[in-house]
């Protein structure tokens, strides 16, 4: 009759972890050996050895006389395991720590006898008196605040991630920033009151924005980001960097359009420009309200629906921007933000492939982890591919959580023994192995077996209440001009010019704009009618662009996906968000200080309609002393981009008052773009020409 020893977690224990007595001895030896290596288990080791020999001396002769050698050996081994897993006393760790779940390691040892013939089982349990049977982790102290969560699909990684983020917010007041690759955390935003940002609908990236950084530094960041996301060679990325530096030197903040134009001056750079186009939809003005409250409220950035290049680029620059923000602040060991990268293996795997290039730069993950500890933000990564992570990354994490992991072990990066590996392969959903570096400092050098406790309804309500108390700061309009003397000598004279007239945040592309104009003119029409209208206007001639190709959405589907239009029963209508970009009444809404009379308003509406005939993007700037209207034409060579250099200001002139005309002339010099006067009366036109005859 075979007898076994099984280490379990009581009622929630995973099945299939039975080990023979000899294997349990080997497992125990490995754990005690680990304690010797760390020099923190000397007392436990002595107790185990003394108890082993005492029990052997007393019980072994009796057992031999009774003919029960296996049972005697099993009991001795079990008692040694009891001693080995008994937690040393260490105070100060659990105070203020986060509840993770029920701890198995100090709960139950079950000695079971199996009768293979009758199928019966007798058992008895001995409770190991731990502190309170609850496992906690401390993310607000040393050695650092980084956490790694690993496990197979559906093993409970996301639940653990949510538990850590939510309880850190409640216990320490630390907000979180979660970069959600798959969209799995979008519901978590609604459950906890965190702000949800979807790329590109409500969040876009401006990788060229200086934010107080030297242009040369920013250009280098752009170089690294483009190499990572677009798989550019070192030479190609350097060309993009040099082009950006030339634009900075001219006093212009680069964007995709201007960078492309700069690169296109040489035919050999065509491929670089083509790859830049691949990430066009995630580029634009970053929402200031996102960054202004980054350490005050929790945010989730959803990258669902983006391709891998776009996801990598957005992730890289968000992490880079976090480092920049914290570099400006005070340095401290206590975290002010937890940054979570769900399914981080996808980013990390790509970067490891990227590192194989002989010219590759420093591995981003290791850089972020290092800077995180220095500047006060913690990183929580979630991964399915444990083997893809470098040992340096695993070793830098203060807490390592390993859920069920059934894949082939290519490299035992966590130095697990046989018992741990068998548990990891058979653990149920939500069960995990946890190593806490802070516990190791207090003498516990083994892994804990933990059942993660999800966030409760009460905890989520508390998170919502905390989120509702957040008051966003009043944002001042930032001066986006570039300090030219950073890249040129102070004696150089550089005209600032049209850089002030940036495209408004979230503006549709020319193809999207054409779709909106078609829907505006044909509300409730089906796609066939809208396509005929667009082609009739000559705005877009390519069926591939209109209908989509190779998995890329057509212009009307894209308008729906970004929230500018709605489709029901095959019929299309504009949403309020889309109408704001193309409806003349909406464009000039709220501009009562500029619109002096009904005649003036009527003339502005007619001007917008006229400009829309050429699919021009028209806005009415909110700034003081600005034009009535500003419009951008479509780029003549690249029909999917706006011509930023072709912007013009438009003034509806209803009188020939000299002071009014001179004021509008001054706007041209202030804003650096030509002004176009719009009049309906021939006599007024003559007077206007007379007043402006000396105007260039």
Residue (of 160, 156, 180, 157) closest to 168 by Cα position: 160
Tell me which H or E stretch contains 349. Answer: helix 345-355
Residue range 273-328, pLDDT digits in tens: 777 777 878 888 788 788 888 888 999 999 988 888 888 888 888 888 888 777 76
Residue 215: what pLDDT? 82
In a shared domain, residues 576 and 630: no
Residue 549: what pLDDT? 78
84: in domain? yes
Q: In CATH, what number is assigned to the domain containing residue 596?
A: 3.40.1350
In a shared domain, residues 591 and 681: yes
* Residues 579, 584: Cα–Cα separation, whole Å: 9
In a shared domain, residues 656 and 548: no
Domain limit, last residue, from 81, 110, 136:
136
Residue (of 164, 54, 53) closest to 98 by Cα position: 164
Domain limit, last residue, from 110, 136, 162:
136
CA angle 402, 404, 407 (to 5 degrees): 100
127: in domain? yes
**Segment 111-116 mean pLDDT:** 28
Q: Check pLDDT > 80 for residue 359.
A: no
643: in domain? yes
The total number of structural domains that make up the chain: 4
Domain that holds residue 229: 215-281
In a shared domain, residues 109 and 231: no
In a shared domain, residues 660 and 571: no
Residue 444: what pLDDT? 65
* Residues 505, 359: Cα–Cα separation, whole Å: 35
116: in domain? yes
87: in domain? yes
In a shared domain, residues 631 and 667: yes
DSSP-derived 3-state class of residue 150: strand
Residue 179: what pLDDT? 93
Burial tier of 20 (Cβ tally within 10 Å: 0-12, 13-18, 19+): middle
Domain limit, last residue, from 582, 609, 635:
582
16: in domain? yes
In a shared domain, residues 21 and 66: yes
Q: In CATH, what number is assigned to the domain containing residue 536?
A: 1.10.460.10
350: in domain? no
Q: How far is CA 240 from the centre of its chain?
A: 25
**Segment 529-543 mean pLDDT:** 88
* Residues 566, 42: Cα–Cα separation, whole Å: 70
Least confident piece of the model among 5-14, 88-97, 171-180, 571-580: 5-14
**Segment 431-448 mean pLDDT:** 72
Residue 116: what pLDDT? 30
| pTM of this structure | 0.55
């Amino acid at each position: 009759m075979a007898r076994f020893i099984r280490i379990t977690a009581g009622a929630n224990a995973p099945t299939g972890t039975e080990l023979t007595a000899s294997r349990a001895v080997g497992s125990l030896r490995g754990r005690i050996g680990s304690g010797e290596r760390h020099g923190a288990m000397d007392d436990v080791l002595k107790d185990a050895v003394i108890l082993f020999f005492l029990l052997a001396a007393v019980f072994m002769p009796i057992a031999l006389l009774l003919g029960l050698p296996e049972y005697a050996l099993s009991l001795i081994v079990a008692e040694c395991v009891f001693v080995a897993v008994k937690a040393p006393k260490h105070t100060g760790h659990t105070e203020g720590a986060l509840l993770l779940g029920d701890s198995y390691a100090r709960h139950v040892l079950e000695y079971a006898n199996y009768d293979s013939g009758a199928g019966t089982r007798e058992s008895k349990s001995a409770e190991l008196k731990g502190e309170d049977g609850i496992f906690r982790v401390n993310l607000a102290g040393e050695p650092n605040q980084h956490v790694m969560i690993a496990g197979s699909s559906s093993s409970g990684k996301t639940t653990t991630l949510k538990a850590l983020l939510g309880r850190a917010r409640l216990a320490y007041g630390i907000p979180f920033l979660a970069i959600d690759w798959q969209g799995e955390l979008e519901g978590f935003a609604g459950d906890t009151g965190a702000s949800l940002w979807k790329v590109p609908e409500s969040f876009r990236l401006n990788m060229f924005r200086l934010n107080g950084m030297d242009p040369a530094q920013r250009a280098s960041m752009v170089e690294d980001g483009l190499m990572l996301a677009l798989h550019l060679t070192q030479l190609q990325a350097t060309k993009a960097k040099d082009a950006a530096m030339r634009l900075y030197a001219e006093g212009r903040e680069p964007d995709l359009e201007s960078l492309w134009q700069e690169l296109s001056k040489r035919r050999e750079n065509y491929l670089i420009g083509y790859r830049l186009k691949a990430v066009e939809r995630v580029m634009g003005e970053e929402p200031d309200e996102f960054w202004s409250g980054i350490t005050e409220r929790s945010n989730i950035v959803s990258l669902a629906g983006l391709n891998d290049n776009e996801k990598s680029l957005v992730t890289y620059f968000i992490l880079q921007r976090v480092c920049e923000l914290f570099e400006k602040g005070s340095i401290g060991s206590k975290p002010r933000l937890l940054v979570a990268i769900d399914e981080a293996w996808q980013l990390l795997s790509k970067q490891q492939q990227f590192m194989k290039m002989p010219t590759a730069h420093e591995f981003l993950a290791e850089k972020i982890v290092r800077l995180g500890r220095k500047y006060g933000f913690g990183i929580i990564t979630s991964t399915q591919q444990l083997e893809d992570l470098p040992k340096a990354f695993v070793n830098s994490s203060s807490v390592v959580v390993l859920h069920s992991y059934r894949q082939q072990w290519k490299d035992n990066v966590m130095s697990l023994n046989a018992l741990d590996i068998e548990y990891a392969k058979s653990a149920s959903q939500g069960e995990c192995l946890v190593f806490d570096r802070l516990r190791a400092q207090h003498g516990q050098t083994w892994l804990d077996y933990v059942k993660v406790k999800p966030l409760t309804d009460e905890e989520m309500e508390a998170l919502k209440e905390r989120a509702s108390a957040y008051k966003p700061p009043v944002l001042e309009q930032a001066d986006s001009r570039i300090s030219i003397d950073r890249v040129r000598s102070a004696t150089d004279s550089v005209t600032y010019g049209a850089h002030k007239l940036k495209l408004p945040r979230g503006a549709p592309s020319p193809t999207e704009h054409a779709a909106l104009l078609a829907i505006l003119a044909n509300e409730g029409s089906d796609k066939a009618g809208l396509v005929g209208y667009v082609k009739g206007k000559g705005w877009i001639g390519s069926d591939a662009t209109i209908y989509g190709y190779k998995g890329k959405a057509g212009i009307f589907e894209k308008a729906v996906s970004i929230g500018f239009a709605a489709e029901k029963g095959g019929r299309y209508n504009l949403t309020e968000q889309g109408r704001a970009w193309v409806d003349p009444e909406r464009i000039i809404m709220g501009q009562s200080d500029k619109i002096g009379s009904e005649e003036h308003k009527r003339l502005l509406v007619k001007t917008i309609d006229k400009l829309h005939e050429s699919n021009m993007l028209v806005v009415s700037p909110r700034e003081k002393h600005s034009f009535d209207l500003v419009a951008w034409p479509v780029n003549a060579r690249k029909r999917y981009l706006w011509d930023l250099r072709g912007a013009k200001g438009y003034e509806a002139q209803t009188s020939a008052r000299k002071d009014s005309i001179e004021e509008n002339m001054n706007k041209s010099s202030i804003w650096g773009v030509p002004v176009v006067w719009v009049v309906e009366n021939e006599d007024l036109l003559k007077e206007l020409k007379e007043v402006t005859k000396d105007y260039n």
